[in-house]
């Protein structure tokens, strides 16, 4: 067992922490907790949501210290264990998992729930990064490509079975980002996108996705056709967003035990539709501020990927950039009617303990890469 003294960080190490990235993480998460509180304060037991999110945030920051204290090269050595553990958990969840919103993707631990797919997405990127480094970056070698694809297909297949199409899409675009930055032939990438479309068609007609889920996904094309059914989520979301104007309605800030329109009429307001809550309460101005913080966070990760001393570090940073870009686009897009409604949450803002924990620790790994970007030559 590694002694605690090994985790001690000196002042020199702390100075290497990307402060803009760390501050962005903290501000985005705290803003998320505030909006979760405003969204749920008027409901019975609603205070449990921001309290639990705060507990996970504090735990994440504590664990983040240990992630930063260990050289990521050491963490890299444990990647296979990390990856296969996540695969084992994905298998386990299919046996004993709980079903939430139509997907059997959660393992209950007393009052808490854990989503193994959250762990699997970063474990997959880490495994691909390690293997690609072992291959000296030769990604266009036929054998090497199929080895990398093998490690991506296993978790993707297990997540599809749940079925959790939102998380499958997140993993796909993270893997796509890895292949792109790894230098994979563009024709193969285009072929992969084609395979995704074929895969979606096959899953769509396989019976894994229920009819009500299909209606919810396709309702974004014309929510007015069924405003009390499949189009209800989007219809209510657009009303709430419109009521926010430029500076927001701020109606949930009143200390009268009531919430705003979205907290009363928009389902899953604390998770999938948290951006609706942001726009209603803080308006376009609040949305711009949030997107600015995301922009700072993503730009810092891009810089770290560019300056990384090795392939593994570059792949980790790239995978997280791909995750944030896709998740932000998809989540915001579905709340304003530009994208289908899926279960993809807004990173660091939406309610979800396992998502918050794994996201912050994954970002910590990216910061770790940035702290140790100097390559040592012996």
Looking at the predicted structure, is the pLDDT value of residue 376 above 50?
Answer: no
Quote the pLDDT of residue 229: 56
* Strand spans (E) along the chain: 98-100, 103-109, 112-114
Nearest to 277 by CA among 252, 308, 312, 247: 252
267, 326 contact by CB (below 8 A): no
Q: 103 — phi, psi (to 5°)?
A: -120, 130
Torsion of CA 354, 252, 43, 50, to 10 degrees: 20
80, 127 contact by CB (below 8 A): yes
In terms of Cβ atoms closer than 10 Å to its own Cβ (0-12, 13-18, 19+), residue 175 is: buried
What one-character DSSP code corresponds to residue 116? H
pLDDT mean over 194-200: 73
**HSE (side-chain half, CA atoms, 13 Å) at 346:** 31
Quote the pLDDT of residue 216: 60
Consecutive H or E run containing 175: helix 165-181
C-alpha triplet 56, 62, 65: angle, nearest 5° = 135
pLDDT mean over 105-112: 80
Rounded Cα distance between 340 and 135, Å, is 38
237-279 pLDDT, tens digit per residue, is 888 888 888 888 876 565 555 567 777 778 878 888 899 999 9
């Amino acid at each position: 067992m590694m002694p605690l003294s090994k985790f001690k960080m000196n002042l020199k190490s702390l100075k290497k922490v990307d402060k803009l990235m760390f501050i962005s993480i903290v501000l985005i998460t705290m803003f998320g907790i505030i909006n979760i509180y405003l969204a749920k304060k008027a409901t019975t037991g609603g205070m449990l949501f921001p309290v639990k999110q705060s507990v996970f945030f504090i735990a994440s920051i504590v664990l983040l210290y240990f992630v930063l204290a260990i050289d990521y090269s050491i963490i890299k050595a444990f990647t296979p264990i990390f990856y296969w553990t996540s695969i084992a958990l994905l298998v386990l969840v299919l046996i004993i998992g709980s079903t939430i919103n139509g997907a059997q993707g959660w393992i209950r631990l007393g009052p808490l729930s854990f989503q193994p797919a959250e762990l699997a997405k970063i474990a997959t990127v880490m495994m691909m990064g390690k293997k690609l480094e072992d291959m000296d970056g030769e990604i266009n070698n036929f054998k090497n490509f199929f080895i990398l694809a093998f490690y991506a297909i296993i978790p993707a297949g297990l997540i599809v079975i749940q079925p959790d199409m939102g998380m499958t899409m997140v993993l796909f675009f993270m893997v796509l980002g890895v292949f792109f930055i790894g230098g994979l032939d563009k024709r193969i990438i285009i072929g992969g996108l084609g395979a995704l479309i074929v895969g979606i068609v096959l899953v769509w007609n396989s019976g894994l996705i229920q009819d009500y889920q299909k209606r919810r996904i396709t309702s974004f094309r014309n929510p007015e056709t069924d405003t009390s059914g499949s189009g209800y989520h989007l219809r209510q979301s657009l009303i709430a967003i419109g009521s926010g104007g430029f500076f927001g309605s701020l109606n949930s800030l009143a200390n009268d035990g009531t919430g705003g329109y979205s907290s009363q009429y928009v389902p899953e307001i604390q998770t999938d539709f948290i951006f609706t809550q942001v726009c209603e309460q803080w308006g376009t101005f609040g949305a711009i501020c949030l997107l600015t913080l995301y922009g700072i966070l993503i730009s810092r990760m891009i810089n770290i990927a560019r300056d990384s001393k090795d392939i593994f570090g570059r792949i980790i940073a790239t995978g997280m950039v791909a995750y944030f870009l896709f998740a932000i686009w998809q989540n915001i897009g579905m709340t304003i009617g530009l994208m289908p409604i899926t279960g993809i949450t807004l990173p660091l803002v939406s309610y979800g303990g396992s998502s918050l924990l794994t996201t912050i620790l994954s970002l910590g790994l990216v910061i770790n890469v940035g702290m140790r970007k100097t390559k040592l030559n012996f």
